[in-house]
Structure 1
């Protein structure tokens, strides 16, 4: 007895490489970007993104972007590229009735393209955990094609959950028109990502608001609404966390670390660091 098979459905492509120096520019499909052992800088559309061990980047199909790696040690990349309609088809299966799926079990269409908010997401959410799990298994070369397909299917399910969560965040903004809420959310996030990417540079508020294409007052007001804190406090937190990592993982002097992460005053840095971590930079260094 012959079992009718569905026509082949395009499958995601996995890119797993390591490089200490790399530059690339072009466009691609809907994708998830992860990196270990270093940082990669992306420019996509109006956004600037820093991707490292602690986050991943989501980019839309057709988005032009460039990436830059400049590290003293190899940076491991693990990126997944989804063919058109792949995630949307899994979404259709999740919301369709059993009767519909019985009548059209092999239907596949790339017509209803989803738009995603291009930004970085913390690795500590469900999609990030699934990405780390797949990356570890893939690195060990313990998965056959069947197992990889199942893992990628689950990734897509988590992506759809993430999409719904972001839409909920957008809907919580107090603008009447949905298009206004979506655009403001994207612009404020562009400013947020700009801080994350360039916290170690001498940033100004005006420069950051300009990157988001917002006035300073508009950016400040809506940043606080979205993140519950001010851009300056977030900038300071980025610098303090970076300083803590360097104090624990490198032999650079406290003074060099202070200036390397973007602080302009050693005294101010020491005071802020002690208040944040209940230990001075020198005391933390001595404990490692």
Structure 2
């Protein structure tokens, strides 16, 4: 069963705990698709969920780490993760969250782990281990994007499209597992003997990267990142470059340039305002770095 919610719950009137969730939705999968301005939710329990937006940026706080999610990325939280969330003042967000219930997960993983003959012999079998996903923001793959957009459009008439949405939810989760497999291969490239060590390095380096993606407009130092990731500066620098093929400072500069590119294409803000909004300290360094990357000055890029 799938339940559909087209508005955020009242952040004051609800407890947002596990008991309240199962009292309200039981074992159902739940799609939350709503538009909102400024709103804030306290730390609360959640089921396994995939989070994205179709417009704007929604922020999540987990273990004092800020994670910004927009239409170009996704964030997965495992069941029993506790987190807070908010939408900033003066921003409009179209939020889209897919919550996967226990019946769906058990049946899907039972299917994924069996051969065709066993599935024919016992189609109701539902014993299998679930996957623990990496809880960090990552770029949205073409396959995941396709299924998200399809479901987002079909929720306009949820009852009419219910069966198709049910199918797309299955395909979406399958694509999520494929992406998880790709991440596991990336973990295996980390130079450490124990699998648990490789996973921990991967997790901590992504904490630093997620912080850059969410707070790129603020001054960010390597020392600050090392404290957030709980790694030494030299260890973080080396592992970050191995995973992302660039240093944290280079990643930060690129993140700011990409946001400037977006604002130049979609807004009428003055160049000085864009420079400040994306985190550059002065117009000259912004222009120089932008021209080096895009082969045009910001003014030329806007007119092209």
Following superposition of structure 1 onto structure 2, how do residues 78-157 of structure 1 map, counting pairs within 5 Å? 78-84=96-102, 86-109=104-127, 112-139=129-156, 141=158, 143-157=160-174
Q: How far is the alpha carbon of 1:125 from its aligned partner?
A: 3.3
Q: How far is the alpha carbon of 1:117 from its aligned partner?
A: 0.3
Which of residues 198, 201, 210 is equivalent to 1:181?
198
Conserved 8 A contact 1:205-1:216: yes
Conserved 8 A contact 2:28-2:103: no
Unaligned runs of 5+ in 2: 1-25
Match of 1:255 in 2: 272
1:201 matches 2:218: yes
Q: How far is the alpha carbon of 1:136 from its aligned partner?
A: 2.2
String of CA shifts for 1:52-85, please: whole Å, max 9, x gaps. Answer: 1211111111111111102435310110101136
Whole-angstrom distance in 2 between the partners of 1:140 and 1:99: 37
1:68 matches 2:81: no
Conserved 8 A contact 1:200-1:239: yes
1:273 matches 2:294: no
Q: How far is the alpha carbon of 1:274 from its aligned partner?
A: 0.9
**Residues 20-29 or 44-53, more deviating:** 44-53
1:48 matches 2:79: no
Match of 2:19 in 1: none
Unaligned runs of 5+ in 1: 1-8
Whole-angstrom distance in 2 between the partners of 1:16 and 1:241: 27
Deviating 4+ runs (over 6 angstroms): none
Greater relative contact order structure (CA < 8 Å, 6+ sep): 1
Q: Give the SS at the match of 1:24.
A: strand
The CA RMSD over aligned residues, in Å, is 1.9
TM-score (structure 1 length as normaliser): 0.90
Count of matched residue positions in the alignment of Structure 1 and Structure 2: 278
Q: How far is the alpha carbon of 1:141 from its aligned partner?
A: 4.6
String of CA shifts for 1:1-26, please: whole Å, max 9, x gaps. Answer: xxxxxxxx944110011101111131
Q: How far is the alpha carbon of 1:286 from its aligned partner?
A: 2.9
Conserved 8 A contact 1:91-1:160: no
* CA distance 1:151–1:284, change in 2 (3 Å): same
Whole-angstrom distance in 2 between the partners of 1:166 and 1:241: 24
Q: How far is the alpha carbon of 1:227 from its aligned partner?
A: 0.8
Conserved 8 A contact 2:72-2:139: yes
Match of 1:171 in 2: 188
